Structure 1
Amino acid sequence: MTGFHADPAALEALASRLQDTAAEYRSAALSLEAPDDLGPISVALAGLTGEWSGRIRAAERDFATAAAGVRTAAKAYRATDAAAAEELDRTDG
């Protein structure tokens, strides 16, 4: 067979890995958002960790968005394959 071939199962596996990575970023951001009380330096540290947390949250969103996009593609490929198989059954029958 020549041409383009999509593997929806592989796409789902990729989406799961991307979602797992997003969860790791979410966990990292949460750990920065609740720093221990370090006395007088807590305010300065909170400003710094808040900036880091925001950047980590942005990466988390990017990974989650990518996972959703890959899942959508896998679903579309499955639907297209099912529709094509149904159409072929009608023409063969």
Structure 2
Amino acid sequence: MDKKFEALVDSAIEKFTIVGVEVKGVLVCDKSGLTLTSKDVTISPGPVACLAELAASLSGRRTTVCLEHNENQVLIHQTDKAVVAVYTNNAT
């Protein structure tokens, strides 16, 4: 199972790279915040899952959350069974 997740993460990173976005890391967790796989991410998945759930409850549907800082950006998207967070350099 881990190999399938790793292949999906590598595919996602490749797609971001094609459009010129440098990916710093990817985190995949379940809705409870348990890590399914991660690549170059040391941040706890609990708050990521919580943010995704909060955003979904505010909008009434699944959403993508974008958190930005001067240098970094994280995109958080909740699917039916998982939450995916992609950490990138801030696009300017």
Query: Which has the higher relative contact order, 1 or 2, with Cα contacts under 8 A spaced 6 or more apart?
Result: 1
Question: Which protein is bigger by CA-based radius of gyration?
Answer: 1
After TM superposition, the score normalised by the length of structure 2 is 0.27
TM-score by length of 1: 0.27
**Which structure shows the bigger proportion of residues in helix conformation?**
1
